[in-house]
Structures are given as C-alpha cells and as structure tokens.
Structure 1
Amino acid sequence: MTTPEAEQPQSDGPQPRPEERLERAVRAAEQALIEFEIAVETFRVEVENFSRLHEQRLGPMYARLEELDAEIAEAKAARTGDPADIRAAQEARAQVAPIPGVEELMHGWMDGGGLFPEAVAMLTEQSVRPPERVRPSEEARKLYRELARKSHPDLAQDAAEVDRREEFIARVNAAYARGDEALLRELAAEWAAGPVPPERRPSPSEELYARLEWLAERKELLTIVAKELEDGPIASMLRLAPEDPDGLLEEIAGQLRTQVLEREARLAELLSQD
C-alpha cells in the first residue's frame, strides 16, 4: 500500500530563486555593455590620434592652398576689374583663416599635462621632432580589455567602490590613450593587489529591472557616440586605409603638394601679366 509520504514528489535539490534568471540577464547585459564601451573607446582613441596627426601633417598645406586661392582671385580681380571677379576675390579672402588668438594657437599643442613635446621644441629653438602616431600595441589592447572588464565601475555595488573604480579606470584610459604598455602592466599589478570587491548580493526584482533599463539606456547613448565617430570625416578617411593610415596621409600630402605647385604656377602667371 502506498503511504502519503511516498506520493509526494521528490525534490532533486534546492529550487532556484525567482530572481536568478533576471540576475543572469543583468550580468550578461553588463558584460555586453562593457565590451561595447571598450570597442567605442578603442575606436575613439584611434580617431583622436589620427585626427591630431592629420592636422599636424596636412593642416599647413590646406592653409597654404586657401591663401593661394585668395591671392589668385585677388590677382585676377586686380587685372580685370570685373565686379564678379572682385566679389570672388573677397569671398576667397574671407575663406582664409584669420590670425588666431593665443587660445587658438595653443589648440593642438597642449593638453591637461602641459605643452606637447613639439611645442616645447619650438619654444626652446630645438629641432622639432616629427609627430608620433600613437597606436596601442596588441599587448596594450589586451591589457586594457582585461583591466576594463575587471575594474569597470558598473560592477560595483556601493558608492565607495564606484569611486575607487572610476578613479582607477580613468588612469587606465589615460595610459591606453598614450599606448603606454608598461604603465598598463603596473596598473594591472596594482589592481591585482587591491581590495577584493564584495560578492554581489541578490537584489529585488524591481532593482534588477531598473538596472536592465539603465544598461539599455547607456547602450543607446554609446551607440549615438559610436555613430558620430563613424560618420565623421576622420573615421571616413581611416576606413580608406585601416591597415596603413600613415601611408594614406602621405598619399594625400603628395596630392596637396601637387595642388600647391599648380596654384603657385598659376599665381606667378597672373602676376607676370601685369
């Protein structure tokens, strides 16, 4: 005869908490967001470095072309006296960048850490070194990704830990932007020796849902930032030669030098007719 106890279903073990599935979803979303942030930051560093090098190498050539266009238009207007040519000359001159102020002069030559080496060399009448392209090595990328995953502020559960992680990740980002592999190794050792964050405690379902919403909003904002970077002119240039951006700059520089020579010849021809 079957007893009442025998009719009861046998449990295979402790039943999962209702929040476990939601917690797994939150953890997965956090890791996905961190990976996305790493990708966006890496791309931002590449675009920023290429933009600075582009300005240093090609900026003077573009300025020279603008000046030559203005001088050619002015020479033509002086020779013909045609009102249309005079207007064209005035418009061309207006396109030439005005003499910059101190703040504009310093743009591109200094940051929060002070003057760039190129600016120091110019001010001290030393030889100006050619601009260096900062491209983090594969090892630096690997170290950065590992540190970003381990120390990301979004993984903290209390305000003090958030502050500690934010200060640390700011230093990691700065080292990565400079491609400083040695400093990234030091930071990795520092993090390994630091305090271990407390284990994540189960959160109420409402808090987990709010966390998921925040992660989704953060991802949307990063998507906007990524799109703005991708749609910019510098990123468009990078896509033309992702494996050899320096070669692309040299190719463009060659084209600009040819245009400068052509305009100089045209200006000389106009001036010789006076």
Structure 2
Amino acid sequence: MAYAGRVTTPEAEQTPSERPAEPAEGAPGEASARPEERLERAVRAAEQALIEYEIAVETFRVEVENFSRLHHQKLGPMYARLDELDAQIAEARAARTGDPEDVRKAAEARARVMPMPGVEELFHGWMDSSGLFPEAAAMLTDQPVSPPERVRPSDEARRLYRELVRKAHPDLAGEEQERQRRDEFISRVNAAYARGDETLLRELSEEWDAGPVPEERRPSRSEELYARLEWLAQRKDMLTLVARDLEEGAIGSMLRIAPEDPDRLLDEIADQLLAEVEQREAELVELLGQSGQSA
C-alpha cells in the first residue's frame, strides 16, 4: 500500500526542495505588454508557484509528523526494553566481577533507563514512569495487540485542503485587513488537516465560499512589483530550507527509503529489535547462571 503522504505532484515526482517556484516566462503578447503588466504577470505566476510549493512542504511536514508518531508508538517499547536489558546485563556483570569500571558502566546503563518527564506522552500510551503498558508487553511477547492510533488525511481531505489553500492563501490578499482574515482562516485549515478532519475541512470550504469576496488586486508600480518578487523569492528559499531539514531528518530519511510502504519498513525494524531483545535476554540468562554457579 502506497504511503498517503508521498511528496509528489501530477507534474513530476520531486521532493519539495527540488521543485522550484519560478514565474512562467514567454507568455503570448508579453513582448508588446507594458513593463508593469509583464511584472504583474510575473508576480502572479510566482505567487501561484509559491502557494503550490507551500502546499507540498506542509503536506510532507504532516506526513513526517504522523510517521514520527507511529515510529514512537510501535518501536518505542522495544527500545525501552533493550535499554532495560542492557542495564541488567551491565549490573549482572558488575556483580560478578566487582570491577570498578564494570560498576561505573552499570550505573551509566541504569541512568539511561531512569524515568524521564513526559515519557508517557513520548510513547503515546505505550509506557509511563512505572514501565510498559500491557499493550507494549503483548507486542514484545508476540501476543495480539491493537494497532496504534494514526492520523493520515484521506484523499478527500487532501483535496479539500489543497482547494482551500489555493483559494484563501494570505498572499492573494490585496489589503492588510484581508490578509489577517486569511491568515486566521488558513490557521484553522492547517489544524483541521493535521488532524485529518475531513468533515471540518468541508465545513471550512463552505464557510469560505459564503464569505466576502476580496477585491481584485489593482496593478502596482514597478518598484512595488520588484519588491514583491524579491519577497516571494526569499519566501521560497526559506521553504526550501524547511523542506531540506524535513527530508534529511531521521524520519524523513526513513520515508525516502521506503516511500511506497513505510509500514513495512517499521515492521522490518521491529523484527530486528525483537531479535536484539532475544539476544540480550539470552546473554542476561547466561550471566545470571554464571553468577549462580560462582556463588
């Protein structure tokens, strides 16, 4: 099953940082148009390109956030179990040898599994400061467990989101008051999309359609249009940095490894972690057995 949030467009399969937001050139009649008219067309083309680019970056950001949440939910208990086993192994080794260096390593290993503030929130219901929840323990022992809650916007939610952003984007405002109205509205749209709330997105679409229609932008002077183009270019550069950080981060890199089926990648990592858990458990049993024999 393909991952819902893969960063692609109908035109090309490119990551956000690879897709430029440049104005179109060579439009019919451009040579005969006044300089202000050519600048006006260039600004409008750059605005539309920037909107599409922002949509791609925000879509990918939501995908990274959702996949990060699922990663913590599914693999967090296994990492916690490995840390606990490492601490127990170090403690058993220190108890057997009495070596000060082994004692120091055991203390360090134990410190790594000390309860931390917010651990329950970090693992989204899989563990708290008292240890693993039953669901997490079931996963580690190959028992049936309910899948973690995940948020993945539906195709309809993504369609509504793109439509709303294209219609209500603040950059299309002609006046500051209208820009503020659009800013507040788009914030509500982004929040609904992040939750995958298709119903709310549909309600927001109806709300926008029923709202006031902004006045068409009047042609600006050449100096203002040049300044506008410069701002759009700076905005695009900033978004490029955001997209690059997302793509080169740990979660973004994982999504790029298996863009069509990231769930399978999580399953493979889980299998590897389970194998490591079994290996550590066997090592601990062996160490405890040696300590019992020496006693």
Provide TM-score, normalisation by structure 1: 0.82
Does the Cα contact within 8 Å between 2:72 and 2:122 map onto a contact in 1? no
Q: Structure 2 CA distance, aligned partners of 1:67 and 1:83? A: 21
Range with greater deviation from structure 2 (130-139 or 170-179): 130-139
Give the 3 Å change call, closer, same or farther, for CA 97–163 of structure 1 in structure 2.
farther
**Hey, what does 1:179 align to over in structure 2?**
196
**Hey, what does 1:258 align to over in structure 2?**
275
Q: Which amino acid aligns with 2:251?
A: I
Query: Deviation at 1:26?
Result: 0.7
Q: Structure 2 CA distance, aligned partners of 1:194 and 1:176? A: 20
**Hey, what does 1:74 align to over in structure 2?**
91
Q: 1:201 aligns with which of 190, 205, 218?
A: 218
Matches within 5 A, 1:90-105: 90-94=107-111, 96-101=112-117, 103=118, 105=120
Does the Cα contact within 8 Å between 2:152 and 2:196 map onto a contact in 1? yes
Query: Deviation at 1:108?
Result: 6.1
Query: Deviation at 1:104?
Result: 5.0
**Hey, what does 2:27 align to over in structure 1?**
none
Matches within 5 A, 1:34-53: 34-53=51-70
**Hey, what does 1:4 align to over in structure 2?**
none
**Hey, what does 1:60 align to over in structure 2?**
77
Deviations 1:58-78 (A, max 9, x none): 111101101111211221122
Query: Deviation at 1:133?
Result: 2.1
**Hey, what does 1:146 align to over in structure 2?**
163
Could you say what secondary structure the match of 1:134 adopts?
A: coil
Query: Deviation at 1:41?
Result: 0.3
Q: 1:271 aligns with which of 276, 288, 291?
A: 288
**Hey, what does 1:113 align to over in structure 2?**
none
Q: Structure 2 CA distance, aligned partners of 1:138 and 1:231? A: 26
Does the Cα contact within 8 Å between 2:79 and 2:273 map onto a contact in 1? yes
**Hey, what does 1:227 align to over in structure 2?**
244
Deviations 1:182-206 (A, max 9, x none): 2222211211111111011111111
Q: State which structure, 1 or 2, has the greater radius of gyration over its C-alpha atoms.
A: 1
Q: Structure 1 CA distance, aligned partners of 2:164 and 2:36? A: 29
**Hey, what does 1:190 align to over in structure 2?**
207
Q: Structure 2 CA distance, aligned partners of 1:169 and 1:231? A: 27
Query: Deviation at 1:229?
Result: 0.5
Deviations 1:85-131 (A, max 9, x none): 3343333334x143123x5544565xxxxxx9x99xxxxx9x99642
CA RMSD, Structure 1 to Structure 2 (Å) = 2.3
Mark the runs of 5 or more structure 1 residues left unpaired by the alignment: 1-14, 110-115, 120-124
**Hey, what does 1:131 align to over in structure 2?**
148
Mark the runs of 5 or more structure 2 residues left unpaired by the alignment: 1-31, 128-132, 136-144
Aligned length: 245
Identity %: 71
Q: Which amino acid aligns with 2:45?
A: A
Q: Structure 2 CA distance, aligned partners of 1:97 and 1:73? A: 13
Query: Deviation at 1:145?
Result: 1.1
Range with greater deviation from structure 2 (236-245 or 77-86): 77-86
Give the 3 Å change call, closer, same or farther, for CA 107–254 of structure 1 in structure 2.
closer
Q: Structure 2 CA distance, aligned partners of 1:105 and 1:168? A: 33
**Hey, what does 1:23 align to over in structure 2?**
40
Deviations 1:19-46 (A, max 9, x none): 0001111111111111110000000000
Q: Which amino acid aligns with 1:194?
A: G
Could you say what secondary structure the match of 1:273 adopts?
A: helix
Could you say what secondary structure the match of 1:135 adopts?
A: coil
Does the Cα contact within 8 Å between 2:40 and 2:225 map onto a contact in 1? yes
Q: Which amino acid aligns with 1:197?
A: P
Provide TM-score, normalisation by structure 2: 0.76
